Structure 1
Amino acid sequence: MRINGKYSIGILLTFVLLAAVMLYAFPVIRMATGIQHITASSFSLSRLGILSVLLIVFLYSFFIEKGPFLLKEEKKYSIGFYIKAVIGLYLVCTIGGAFINVLLQFLLQEKISNKLLQLTSIFKNNYFLIIFTCLTAGVVEEFLMRGYIQPRVEKIYSSPLLGVIVSALLFGILHSTYGTIGQVIVPFFIGAVFAMFYKKYSNIKILIICHFMFDLVSLMIMNSMDFKHLSVF
């Protein structure tokens, strides 16, 4: 099989495995443990499932593609650049995401995701789970969406723009399990911003740090808010 065919299978494998974990992790955990509702323990197990996807894709790239996991060579930057890049990305994603949320609320008057409400309750004052969740999201999603999928789509179709769009689109679709339009469009926007940054600067570490920080701040704010005020956030 030619290398582009292997890349195509790898992209499909990555998306299918991530979608399967997000859709079926809790039903499988429920069957195996008897835990009927989402708890801190069952959620932690689901995160291990997501980490296992990263391991499987890494092994696929090593044994089947027989090449590096990251097709783009990591560029080195100064500490000052790291700080400015993380802050800049965070502000763009926060302000842009807030604007999109307000616009969607005005146009659609979406109700808050029931899944998000459930997760808010298990994160309450559980700082280890918050940090573990943010760390797994930052590492797995950036390595797979930007590090693995984006450059392979670009290689297959010889189109940097298509690499950005496809990786951002898949990133948004994977968040559809939250059940609202906003939880698809905002991640798509963030995914596009991150993908454009990765295309230009080729540094996955900055994206992992920013992703971690974005999720951490969001979850800490949720942790400090009453449920009745969550829709505003």
Structure 2
Amino acid sequence: MSLSGKYSFGVLLAFVLLALVMLYAFPVVSFFTGIKGFSAYSFFLSRIILWIILIIILLYSFFIEKGPFLLKKEKEYPAAFYGKAVSCLYLICVAGAAFLNFLLHIVAYEETSDKLIQFSSVLKNNYFLIIFTCFTAGIMEELLMRGYIQPRLEKIYNSPHTGIIGSALLFGILHSTYGTIGQVMVTSFIGIIFAMFYKLYSNIKVLILCHFLIDFISLMIMNFIDFKHLSVF
């Protein structure tokens, strides 16, 4: 198999494994543990499965592709750059997400996802699980979507635009399992912003920090505000 073929299979493998987790993680956890229903423990185990997927893709890159996991060499910047970059990315993503949600609220009258309501109830006042969830999403999703998938799509199609748009669309599609158009549109938008940043600055650490911050602040708002009032945001 050519290197391009190995990259293609790796991208497909990463996406399919993530999609399977998004769709079937809780039934699998229930099957192997006997835990019925949706609980904090089953949610925690579903995050562990995501770490296993990251390890699988790491092993694939090392032993099948026989190359580095991150095709783009990580660039280092002064400490001040990280603070400015994370702050700017956060504000852009939050403002863009708020605008998209506002439009959807007016045009489609979309209701809050039942799955998000479930997550909110499980995470309520469980600060360890909130932090672990944000930590997992920040590291795992950025390493896989931006660090792994984006540069390989760029190599396969010899187009930076394909890497940016393709990785963003896959990122949005994965979040379609939350059951709302808003989740797909917002995550696709954030995916484009993050992918553009990664293409320009080749620094995954900024994206991990910003992803963690976006999720952490969002989950803390969900924790302290009655979920039925979140449509305001």
Q: Could you say whether these structures have the same fold, taking a TM-score greater than 0.5 normalized by the shorter chain as the test?
A: yes
Aligned residues: 233
Structure 1 SS opposite 2:125: coil
| Cα distance, 1:20 vs structure 2 | 0.6
| Cα distance, 1:169 vs structure 2 | 0.3
Matched, 1:93 2:86: no
Map 1:103-122 onto structure 2 (within 5 A): 103-122=103-122
Give 1:130's aligned amino acid.
I
Moved more, 64-73 or 24-33: 24-33
Mark the runs of 5 or more structure 1 residues left unpaired by the alignment.
Answer: none
| Cα distance, 1:38 vs structure 2 | 1.3
Query: 1: CA distance between counterparts of 2:36 and 2:103?
Result: 36
Query: 1: CA distance between counterparts of 2:206 and 2:171?
Result: 18
| Cα distance, 1:29 vs structure 2 | 1.3
Q: What is the CA RMSD across the aligned residues, in angstroms?
A: 0.7
| Cα distance, 1:28 vs structure 2 | 1.1
Structure 2 SS opposite 1:68: coil
Query: 2: CA distance between counterparts of 1:35 and 1:179?
Result: 24
| Cα distance, 1:37 vs structure 2 | 1.8
| Cα distance, 1:125 vs structure 2 | 0.6
Map 1:62-141 onto structure 2 (within 5 A): 62-141=62-141
Give 2:45's aligned amino acid.
L
Matched, 1:47 2:15: no
Query: 2: CA distance between counterparts of 1:227 and 1:93?
Result: 21
**Percent same amino acid among aligned pairs?**
67
Counterpart residue number, 2:165: 165
Moved more, 27-36 or 189-198: 27-36
Query: 1: CA distance between counterparts of 2:82 and 2:150?
Result: 21
| TM-score normalised according to structure 1 size | 0.99
Matched, 1:200 2:200: yes
Give 1:50's aligned amino acid.
L
| Cα distance, 1:54 vs structure 2 | 0.4
Structure 1 SS opposite 2:64: helix
Mark the runs of 5 or more structure 2 residues left unpaired by the alignment.
Answer: none
Query: 1: CA distance between counterparts of 2:171 and 2:24?
Result: 18
Give 2:213's aligned amino acid.
M
Give 1:55's aligned amino acid.
I
Query: 2: CA distance between counterparts of 1:100 and 1:138?
Result: 22
Give 1:101's aligned amino acid.
N
Give 1:3's aligned amino acid.
L
Counterpart residue number, 1:27: 27
Counterpart residue number, 2:232: 232
Deviation sequence 1:173-214 (CA, Å, 0-9, x none): 000110000010000000000000000000000000000011
Counterpart residue number, 2:174: 174
